[in-house]
């Protein structure tokens, strides 16, 4: 157990998540090829020139037979071919084929069909992948669109290694303050987790978590102060927590619109967008960005179902377009950071389900993604020596145990 006295007694009862075994398991080494069709001709000819062999073509053609009226593709069509590692050889094979046809009236490229490889080695109909801006010329790689978000990768990695959901939720929450969890992962991104082994009741303690994303590394070490308070701190003794979270919706949402002046999507006039829009499925939980008191929980004009919270130091946060306001949200009610206050919807002046999130400081709107936010707290100087000892002991354990786990990617 970590304490102000360090890690004594833990060294013989810890475990480090083991490393994934291959690029296939990590989901890395994938690339997407985008092919622009220049001539009317058989789909087969185009695919055989772009990573397919006769066997894979026959399998995909059988899957698409009932959704495509023709085996030819028109000029202007686009093919997105996701290549990935084979389970049986060291070659790349098609993991997904998505076909897009131009609308004869508007010329707009629209999704027609997708076939995706399953774990059993067969192809099935799949959903359209995330949208991209189609280039005019063929391109070999658009890796960023094939890799999952940091948020999804952490969850996938944790479940592969039997880390319980409560611990995973805690890890995600600790990093959500400083890291955009909706960003796509890259090859080489990794996560390290150090836990005690399960006790007789199946309970484990999280001791350390480190997340490496590109050139950025965030580390948090568990430490208990003399009053019994347990928290996680970076090597400088600052907690991972911030006064407010910047994207207070489960999973972080997709950034659909930034803060600042824009042409309003409904009114078509140039107006100040007073917050950020975080797109998510209807019903996705919305959390209190920080500790505070409910000022409003009601229908408010263009905001639809809306909650406003008052925080200390002149901060206020607003949450708009909810499908439903959570029970207990009424003026004067106290809320804690991370508490569910409502659910994503599309009420009010909205073009689709999303959270409109805004921050005011002393009555003035600020950009939620860039405003400087204070950290929650830091260790006092009296713990400097003990905390440094804890860091040394954790690093020693990590060196002696198996290597860190590579962040897993999702198909």
Please report, in tens digits, the pLDDT of each residue of the chain (411 residues total): 333 334 433 333 444 443 333 334 434 356 678 888 887 788 898 898 888 889 999 999 999 988 887 788 888 888 998 887 776 655 678 888 999 988 888 878 888 998 988 877 889 888 877 777 665 554 444 343 445 678 878 887 777 777 777 778 778 877 877 777 777 777 667 888 888 777 777 777 888 888 888 788 889 899 998 888 888 888 988 876 778 888 899 888 888 888 988 777 776 778 888 999 999 889 999 999 989 999 999 999 899 999 999 998 899 999 999 999 999 999 999 999 889 999 999 999 888 899 999 999 999 999 998 888 877 667 888 898 999 999 998 888 777 655 454 444 333
Same domain, 42 and 136: yes
Residue at 222 is within a domain: yes
CATH number (domain holding residue 137): 3.10.450.350
116, 145, 174 - which closes a domain: 145
Q: For residue 316, give both structure tokens.
A: 């206020």
Residue 185 DSSP label: P
Mapping DSSP onto H, E and C, the string for 276-337 reads: EEEECCCCCEEECCCCEEEEEEEEEHHHEEEEEEECCCCEEEEEEEEEEECCCCCCCCEECC
Same domain, 17 and 166: yes
Provide the pairing of β-strand 216-224 with 206-213.
antiparallel
CATH number (domain holding residue 336): 2.70.70.10
Residue at 249 is within a domain: no
- How far apart (Å, rounded) are the C-alpha atoms in residues 287 and 245? 9
- Are the C-beta atoms of residues 22 and 401 closer than 8 Å to each other? no
Same domain, 231 and 297: no
Residue at 6 is within a domain: no
- How far apart (Å, rounded) are the C-alpha atoms in residues 319 and 312? 18
Q: For residue 174, give both structure tokens.
A: 């600790």
- Are the C-beta atoms of residues 1 and 386 closer than 8 Å to each other? no
Residue at 127 is within a domain: yes
Same domain, 153 and 292: no
Expressed as residue numbers, the domain containing 204 is 11-22+149-241+388-406
Angle at CA 170, nearest 5°, toward 169 and 172? 65
Same domain, 141 and 199: no
Q: For residue 333, give both structure tokens.
A: 């009610």
Residue at 383 is within a domain: no
Q: For residue 84, give both structure tokens.
A: 């990935």
Residue at 247 is within a domain: no
Residue at 130 is within a domain: yes
């Amino acid at each position: 157990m970590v304490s102000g006295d360090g890690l004594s007694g833990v060294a013989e009862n810890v475990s480090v998540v083991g490393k994934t075994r291959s690029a296939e398991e990590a989901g890395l080494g994938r690339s997407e090829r985008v092919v622009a069709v220049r001539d009317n001709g058989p789909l087969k000819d185009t695919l055989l020139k772009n990573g397919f062999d006769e066997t894979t073509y026959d399998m995909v053609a059988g899957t698409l037979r009932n959704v495509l009226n023709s085996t030819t593709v028109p000029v202007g069509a686009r093919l997105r071919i996701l290549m990935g590692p084979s389970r049986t050889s060291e070659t790349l094979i098609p993991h997904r084929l998505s076909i897009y046809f131009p609308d004869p009236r508007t010329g707009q490229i629209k999704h027609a069909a997708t076939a995706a490889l399953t774990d059993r080695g067969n192809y099935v109909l799949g959903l359209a992948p995330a949208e991209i801006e189609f280039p005019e010329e063929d391109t070999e790689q658009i890796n960023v669109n094939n890799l999952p978000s940091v948020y999804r990768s952490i969850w996938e990695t944790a479940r592969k290694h039997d880390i319980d959901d409560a611990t995973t939720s805690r890890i995600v929450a600790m990093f959500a303050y400083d890291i955009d969890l909706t960003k796509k992962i890259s090859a080489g991104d990794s996560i390290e987790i150090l836990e005690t082994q399960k006790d007789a009741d199946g309970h484990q303690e999280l001791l350390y978590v480190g997340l490496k994303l590109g050139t950025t590394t965030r580390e948090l070490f568990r430490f208990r102060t003399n009053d019994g308070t347990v928290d996680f701190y970076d090597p400088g003794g600052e907690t991972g927590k911030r006064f407010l979270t910047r994207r207070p919706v489960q999973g972080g949402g997709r950034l659909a619109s930034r803060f600042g002046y824009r042409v309003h999507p409904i009114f078509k006039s140039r107006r100040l967008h007073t917050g950020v829009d975080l797109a998510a499925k209807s019903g996705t939980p919305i959390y209190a960005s920080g500790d505070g008191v409910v000022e409003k929980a009601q229908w408010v004009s263009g905001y639809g179902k809306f909650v406003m919270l008052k925080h200390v130091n002149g901060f206020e946060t607003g949450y708009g377009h909810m499908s439903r306001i959570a029970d207990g949200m009424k003026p004067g009610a106290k809320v804690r950071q991370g508490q569910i206050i409502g659910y994503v919807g599309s009420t009010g002046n909205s073009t689709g389900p999303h959270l409109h999130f805004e921050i005011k400081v002393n009555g003035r709107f600020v950009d939620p993604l860039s405003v400087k936010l204070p950290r929650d707290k830091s260790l006092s100087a009296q713990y400097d020596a003990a905390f440094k000892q804890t860091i040394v002991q954790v690093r020693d354990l990590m060196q002696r145990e198996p290597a860190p786990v590579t962040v897993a990617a999702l198909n």
